[in-house]
Amino acid sequence: DGGITQSPKYLFRKEGQNVTLSCEQNLNHDAMYWYRQDPGQGLRLIYYSQIVNDFQKGDIAEGYSVSREKKESFPLTVTSAQKNPTAFYLCASSIGEDSNEQFFGPGTRLTVL
């Protein structure tokens, strides 16, 4: 079955440590996205990538970094520069072009202690 996987489901880290969240898709989608979700704030776009080896900052990119070395993978690193990293992180993908319809992974809940 095609879909998006995110790992791990829950992640705990000490303050000051970098942490990388995994996102893999086998939908053959060109575009991939990372969102952050906090209670009552909906989804906020962190980074997105429309094609391999290219990515763009979203609305809240500060303190985050990404890479897109393969079409299937779009890992997100939460760096120590992110002031309030505890949140629920969602990865999504889409065909790209003129579609807009996104497919979401199950999410990773990051807690920084």
Partner 1 sequence: AQSVTQPDIHITVSEGASLELRCNYSYGATPYLFWYVQSPGQGLQLLLKYFSGDTLVQGIKGFEAEFKRSQSSFNLRKPSVHWSDAAEYFCAVGASGGSYIPTFGRGTSLIVHP
Binding site for partner 1 (CB under 8 A): 4, 6, 31, 33, 40-43, 45, 48, 88, 90, 92, 94, 96-107, 109
Least distance in angstroms from the C-beta of 18 to partner 1: 24
DSSP the chain: ---EEEE-SEEEE-TT--EEEEEEE-S--SEEEEEEE-TTS-EEEEEEEEETTEEEE-TT-TTEEE--SBTTB--EEE-TT-S---EEEEEEEE--TT----EE---EEEEE-
4 vs 66, which CB is nearer to partner 1? Answer: 4
16 vs 40, which CB is nearer to partner 1? Answer: 40
